[in-house]
Amino acid sequence: MQPTFGEYERACRHYGIAVEHVELAPGSFALDEASAAEAMRDAGALFLCRPNNPTGTLIERGIVERLLVAGQRHGAMLVVDEAFIDFVTPDERLTPLLARFDNLLLLRSMTKLYAIPGLRLGYLLGSAAAVNAIAELQPPWSVNALAAGLVAPLLADRDYLARTRAWLDAERPWLQGELAALGLDVVPSHANFLLFRDARLQDARGGSMPALLEHLARGGILVRHTHHFIGLEGAWLRVAVRSRPENRALVEAIARWRHP
């Protein structure tokens, strides 16, 4: 699905795997279920990011189940990246579906929720047959001892997860509302980031969003450009939800740019 996280395609092409795209609806970034199901007819695997990066949108569980049924019919795997799923409330993890569908693989990242990107820590969930087959191809020493030693204590810290979700459930709507009040198009997000564009320039390819990116950078605020995302091509920016003072500083900086 596009636009989405680019590493799936990069990894596939590295191993000589042909890649085709199914585009999400412009603006809303909704998934066309019929197009996705049709794509699975001749595909070995379909990659979904849920919540999607960089849009923050969440494909409905019912759609995922129907795609899994289509995948079983055509012999295709469904690979769902749940790197940001821990930020979603109520719980939307697809773990229960593993008991019913042997063509489902779930990718989980611990670097997002626990803010440890340098440790590159994550894991895979799937049927025993699929996981064992993948393990045979796994590079040696793919997880270092320091990262591995943190798995159990991090997963056991349920209080941290509850506090993080409580913070995000309060802060994300506030930031989204403030950005919308400035006249920006903001995509409703289920993750810890927001994607937005200048509503005045939504028909202009790229518009002046690169100028806003530079304006924010000069003020010490670094946000994510979208030049490398298919279907976005720089016309949107992605911002992380942070503390209230930091979020307020972001809103004020954008306000100064729009109304100098």
pLDDT in the model for residue 147: 92
Q: Where are the beta strands (DSSP E) in 82-148?
A: 104-109, 122-125
Query: Which pairing describes strands 77-81 and 45-49: parallel, antiparallel, or unpaired?
Result: parallel
Q: CB-based burial of residue 232 (10 Å sphere; 0-12 exposed, 13-18 middle, 19+ buried)?
A: buried
List the CATH code of the domain at 7-156: 3.40.640.10
- Pairing type for strands 104-109 and 77-81 reads parallel
Task: List the CATH code of the domain at 159-258.
Answer: 3.90.1150.10
Average pLDDT over residues 187-192: 97
Tell me the C-alpha to C-alpha distance, in Å, between residue 127 and each of 96, 101, 102, 251: 12, 8, 5, 45
Section 207-235 average pLDDT: 92
Count of alpha carbons within 13 Å of 196, Cβ hemisphere only? 26
Under DSSP, the state recorded for 100 is T
Amino acid 208: pLDDT: 78
Tens-digit pLDDT profile for residues 28-80: 999 999 999 999 999 999 999 999 999 999 999 999 999 999 999 999 999 99
Q: Strand runs (DSSP E) across the chain, as ranges?
A: 45-49, 77-81, 104-109, 122-125, 184-187, 193-198, 237-240
Would the pLDDT of 197 be above 90?
yes
Q: What is the per-residue pLDDT for 200? A: 74
Q: What is the DSSP string of 185-207?
A: EEE--SSSEEEEEEGGGTTSSST
For 125-139, what is each residue's pLDDT tens digit? 999 999 999 999 998
202 has pLDDT over 60 = no
Angle between the N-to-C axes of helices 244-258 and 158-181, in degrees from 0 to 180, rounded to the nearest 10: 20
Residues 6+ apart with CB under 8 A from 248: 178
The structure tokens listed for 3 are: 């636009």
pLDDT: which is higher, 201 or 160: 160
- What pLDDT sits at residue 52? 98
Q: How confident is the model at residue 205 (pLDDT cuts 50, 70, 90)?
A: very low
Residue 206's pLDDT band, with cuts at 50, 70 and 90, is: very low
Structural domain spans, the chain: 7-156, 159-258
- Judged against a pLDDT cut of 50, whether residue 153 lies above it is answered with yes
Q: Which pLDDT value is given to residue 260?
A: 76
Q: Render pLDDT for 231-252 as a digit per residue (tens, 0 to 9).
A: 998 999 999 999 999 999 999 9
pLDDT at 201: 63
What pLDDT score does 53 carry?
97
